Structure 1
Amino acid sequence: MSNKGLIKTVFYLFTMVILSFSAKAQKPKMYYGDTSALGVPFSKDPTVIKFKGKYLMYFSMRMIDDKTNGMNGWQIGIAESSDLYNWKKIGEIKPEADYEKKGLCAPGALVRDGKVHLFYQTYGNFEKDAICHAWSSDGIQFTRDSSNPIFHPTGEWTNGRAIDAEVHFFKNQYFLHFATRDKSGKIQKQGVATAPANTDFKRSDWKQAVDSSILKPELPWEGECVEGASVITKNKKLYMFYAGAYNNAPQQIGIAESSDGLTWKRLSDKPFLPNGKPGSWNSSESGHPGIFQDSNGKTYLFYQGNNDNGKTWYLSNIPIGWSEKGPYIRK
């Protein structure tokens, strides 16, 4: 080999080493993707709770048909952690009821009176997809609500679809924030329903709070979609972390605030958490937020990302701080 060829080879190997170290450095502290269904990391739509001393994360994962060994809709995965960064899968919630036969996904969870309450959507029925409810004493085995599905919206502003449930207690009532679409099925937007403080979350307790969208895509980066709302109370206000634009458009995370849960105002016309730069692990998107406040008061924003336009999906989190102006990303 000539000196020129040797120099080129050394330069190439050096470049590969640098890129390798760079790729590893780009990976966040939490970098979770379940491989049990597809053989590649594929986890979406995280929601996290603390229950009986452990952290539990519920997420959407693909479902495999045992007969054909092919993809057949969605189910919900359950992972456990002791530190919020390292996760181990401990269970799955598979379709059981007839209304779930095409799949279930996009969970939202809360703890009340020693039980985990899970709110999730049916899948594969498009405008007939609706919000369901189940509860558990151990966080793994769930009992379905006999009144399922518990909610879908009505009115000329919606096609009747309800997905991405988020249930949050505020001012002595429960708010169910959900995503729906317009009559054409093109524009995805947010709606809200309410239930009294003493509810057991059954269908008859939920009432559509307004006959219109409470947050719809308006900014250029939001495209045709606002979805995946995740809500927290701070400074006597509600803060909604939401996903703007459809998956890999890229989807990015924005923030809105409200004093009543019905009227919302964006904190910025720019994403709070944008997709990553080219070559990073989340260059295709940073999407579907899940805000979590630990028992010590610390707050973490969970979200999904990938860099291959959805061939794989990882879950991660970032620490969130708070000021009078609202949330910020802690370093």
Structure 2
Amino acid sequence: MQIVILDDYQDAVRKLACFATLSGHDVKVFNNNVKGAGQLAVRLRDAQVVVLNRERTALTRAVLDKCPKLKLVVQTGHVGAHLDVDACTALGIAVIEGKGDPAPTAEFTWALIMSAMRRIPQYVANLKQGAWQQPGLKSQSMPVNFGLGQRLAGKTLGIWGYGRIGRIVARYGQAFGMHVLVWGSEASRTAAAQSGLDVAATREALFIESDILSLHLRLTDATRGVVTLSELSHMKPQAILVNTARAELIASDALVSALNRGRPGMAAVDVFEAEPIMRGNPLLRLENAICTPHIGYVELEHYEHLFGQAFEAIGHFSAGDTADLLNPQALDHLR
């Protein structure tokens, strides 16, 4: 089969052990991202199978209409709004999704928390410029001695969203001697209480009381823009907001405005509204923002897991096994 794998930014997929599963197929791997529907359609015009690397590329109806040979879309991890499943079904394109592992993102979240609390990126950057023990962070909006950093023990770790990742991050917080405070849906609050954790009295209280607030919500119509400038302004001047979930959870421009006002004092983010992020993004210019290029899930074992699932699914489909389709209705129109 003609297989196209999109957005392998690290040029890693061909070097994975699981890639051998595709032996005998004609495989093209692209290492860069294109946004235009026309350019993307050119890449996919001969593809019978497309493997999507998470949400890096959107497959809309406009693109799918220009892919006459496409029979199968395999999603690494869960399908999101970037893939028009209804259009796939109508066009007779089967869809199979995988399942991610929460551990890599949880670990990366903790790495951001520790880096932000101890100002590690700022110290490293300044050391490379010849400045010994100089963190920067001298804006007038910041508290006195903000550049020194803070310990985790005794601080309050706020977690909004007590799902698979949030639960792991909560355990990390407990291991470091932190007070863990949870907010989320009724189910999240109930699960947190059953785990012996404190539940915030209100959503506003979560922002007021947290020294570190980590977002672990799914992006839905209900959660889009749910974090507003008003809520961020309730955070402590020394507090840190961490987002390894989705950028769209925060109202547009709210985080930049809040950081410029000094509440919270710092943010550590791995996700952006438009990815790859443009060089002129205002977050990149802020000394109190730590930005990473959406690599929370990018880790060797996780790549083997995600792509191993995807490649195995291709093998099953090519052998006529359609049991795992997300859209079995597509079989009525299958190309």
TM-score for the superposition, normalised by structure 1: 0.22
Q: Which has the higher strand share?
A: 1
Between 1 and 2, higher relative CO (CA 8 Å, sep ≥ 6) is seen in: 2
Structure with the greater alpha carbon radius of gyration: 2
